[in-house]
Amino acid sequence: MSRQIRFNAFEMNCVAHQSPGLWRYPGDQAWRYKDLEYWQDIARIAERGLFDSVFIADVLGTYDVFGGSDVAAIRQGAQVPVNDPLQLAVAGAAVTEHVGFGITAGTAFEHPVPFARRLSTLDHLTRGRVGWNVVTGYLPSAARNLGQADQLAHDARYDHADEYLEVVYKLLEGSWEDDAVVRDAETGVFADPAKVHHIGHHGKHFDVPGIHLSEPSPQRTPVIFQAGASPRGVRFAAENAEAIFIGGPTKQIAKETVRRIRRALVDAGRGPYDAKIYLLSTIITDETAQGAAAKHRDLLSYASVEGTAVFFSGWLGIDLSAYDLDEPLGNVKSNAIQSALAAFQGENERGEAWTVRDIVKLGGIGGQGQNFVGSPAQIADTLIDLVEETDIDGFNLAYATTPGTFEDVVDLVVPELQARGVYQEEYTPGTLRSRLSGNGDRLPETHRGARYRVGGPGSTIDDVTGTGMPAPAAPRAAQTAPSQAPLAHTASAGQETP
């Protein structure tokens, strides 16, 4: 196998992210989420492990589908209390040199003008190491808190997000020319007004006539992360995302999701490998298989059944408190994370319908992702097999305990993967985009956002009024897949991300 396996550390500025109840585990540090030093430690661990990024999730509401209230979520600390993620990128960047920071922020509740400025600020302060995880929202409580009766219908949320990103691209790519800042002390001119353009956006949801408020940052547009796996979400991801996160309780579901995404990338005029795809997973490892199994059993004893049901009720849009534990989910419709619901309406790996008990048992550690339990060698076998079989690029690693789970991966699994030649030995210098794509700091010409680049091919936003509109990008021929030689391995280890 020639493709290098990639990791992200999947975190959230809260106590219980994906594994409710595990904050009680001896040595877990999740309760320190309010401390600057905690986040700097996470960044250092991720960089020591040569991770691509620390990817930080977020929500703006509470999980109140279970039992019709947020009482259980508050009791379990299930992503509440939760603090803002954006400042964490700067805190982590201050003590590291290479690791990136993926920041989650929604398109539903903040105007794109101040948000675009925030992105530029982060990209400047991290020297081009920031990414934006674009989410459209799925919690009705967030919509109500911000003055709406409910969130928009699923596909309408993506329609709104399409225009939101158009405005952001115009601001970040189409307002300031690369050499607009002249900083001429003799003439007293800091920036040349002829090279700073009003974007002149007038759309269905937003009117933004003016300029971007920040000068160009190292990447201009931060790396776009996305986690939609519904048909509408896949189309949105194919047009915008450079890193795509998927769930999948089975290998077959993950394989099918990847296949749909690769095909959609080509349909969007990009290459099938223009976006890196990461599978949500949790790794439980120890020096020996027996030690890993014992650790897993110990961790499971702290997992909260109620907290897991709270999470899955929110993710699926179904009140699991109304179901018997052994009742199949059936053909339920949802306005929440449709791909998550669809994954559990088929058959499990036993060929049986998923029941509420199956879901709660699966999600006690790691949420919607798969758990891999074993020695470093067994874990390496499993990860290599998954990359070969499903065509993913890497893994979005949720923790059972923090920072313990990440430390185990860095100290035990990374060296094993490096010894097999499937994990990088050092960082490639440059911005986050440059390290992910190998093609420079800026959006490639085939990306949707490049259409809005000032003075670029196809763009007519070339005067100070910015009244022109960008022309559509021409599709290019599909790339070929990276070569993947078969690799024998032993038995694998046991088995949107919000």
Q: What is the pLDDT confidence band of residue 345, given thresholds at 50, 70 and 90?
A: low
> Could you give the residue ranges of the DSSP H alpha helices within 126-153?
140-145
Predicted local distance difference test score (pLDDT) of residue 472: 38
pLDDT of residue 467: 39
Of all residues in the chain, the percent with pLDDT exceeding 70 is: 85
Q: Are strands 100-106 and 53-57 parallel, antiparallel or unpaired?
A: parallel
Q: Which of 210, 206, 215 minimizes the C-alpha distance to 198?
A: 210
Is position 414 within any domain?
Answer: yes
pLDDT at residue number 355:
78
Dist. CA 304–CA 288, nearest whole Å? 27
Per residue in 296-318, pLDDT (tens digit) is 999 999 999 899 989 988 888 88
CA angle 51, 57, 61 (to 5 degrees): 175
Query: What HEC string does 40-78 produce?
Result: HHHHHHHHHCCCCEEEEECCCCCCCCHHHCCHHHHHHCE
Task: Say which residues have a Cβ less than 8 Å from residue 251's Cβ, sequence separation at least 6.
Answer: 386, 389, 390
Backbone angles phi, psi at 468, to 5 degrees: -75, 165
Is 65 part of any domain? yes
In a domain, 115, yes or no: yes
Residue 132 lies in a domain: yes
Predicted TM-score of the model (pTM)? 0.87
Q: Does the residue 235 lie in any domain? A: yes
Q: Label residues 311-331 b or e (16+ Cβ within 10 Å = b).
A: bbbbbbbbebeebeeeebbee
Mean pLDDT of 151-180: 92
Please state, in angstroms and rounded to a whole number, the distance separating the CA atoms of residues 489 and 380.
9
Residues 120/125/131/133 CA torsion (nearest 10 deg): -70
Res. 461 pLDDT band, cuts 50 70 90: low
Give yes or no for residue 137 having a pLDDT over 80.
Answer: no
Give the dihedral sign, CA 69/299/374/55: positive
Task: Flag whether pLDDT at 84 surpasses 90.
Answer: yes
Q: Measure the CA–CA gap between 33 and 44, rounded to whole angstroms.
A: 15
Q: Reply yes or no on whether the pLDDT at 129 is more than 50.
A: yes
Which tens digits make up the pLDDT trace of 380-395?
999 999 999 999 999 9
Distance CA 244, CA 445 (A): 19
Cα–Cα distance, 418 to 50 (Å, whole number): 11
Residue 474 lies in a domain: no
Tokens of 63: 């999980």
Question: Is residue 440 over pLDDT 90?
Answer: yes
What's the whole-number mean pLDDT along residues 37-44? 98
Quick check: is 473 in a domain?
no
Instruction: For 242-252, write each residue's pLDDT tens digit.
Output: 999 998 878 98
pLDDT in tens, 264-278: 999 999 999 999 999
Give bridge partners of residue 473 from the DSSP assignment.
Answer: none
3-class secondary structure, 420: coil
> Residue 342 — pLDDT band, cuts 50, 70, 90?
low
Which residue range(s) make up the domain with 374? 6-452
Q: Is the pLDDT of residue 82 over 60?
A: yes
For 466-483, b/e burial (b = at least 16 CB within 10 A) is: beeebeebeeeebeeeee
Cβ atoms < 10 Å from Cβ of 213: 14
Single-letter amino acid code for the residue at 6: R
Q: Which residue would you say has higher pLDDT here, 249 or 41?
A: 41
Measured between alpha carbons, how far is 152 from 140 in angstroms, rounded to an integer?
A: 9
Q: pLDDT tens across 10-32, in order? A: 999 999 999 999 999 999 999 99
- Residue 322 is predicted with a pLDDT of 84
Pairing of strands 201-202, 207-208: antiparallel
Pairing of strands 276-285, 243-246: parallel
Residues 431/218, Cβ–Cβ less than 8 Å: yes
Residue 61 has pLDDT above 80, yes or no: yes
CA distance 402 to 338: 29
Residue 182 has pLDDT above 60, yes or no: yes
CA dihedral for 272, 387, 426, 224, sign (positive or negative): positive
Number of domains into which the chain is organized: 1
Question: Residue 27 sits in a domain of what CATH number?
Answer: 3.20.20.30
Alpha-carbon gap, residue 255 to 239, rounded angstroms: 20
pLDDT at 343: 59
Q: Which candidate, 369, 371, 350, 375, places its Cα nearest to that of 489?
A: 375
Amino acid at 436: L
pLDDT for 312 equals 86
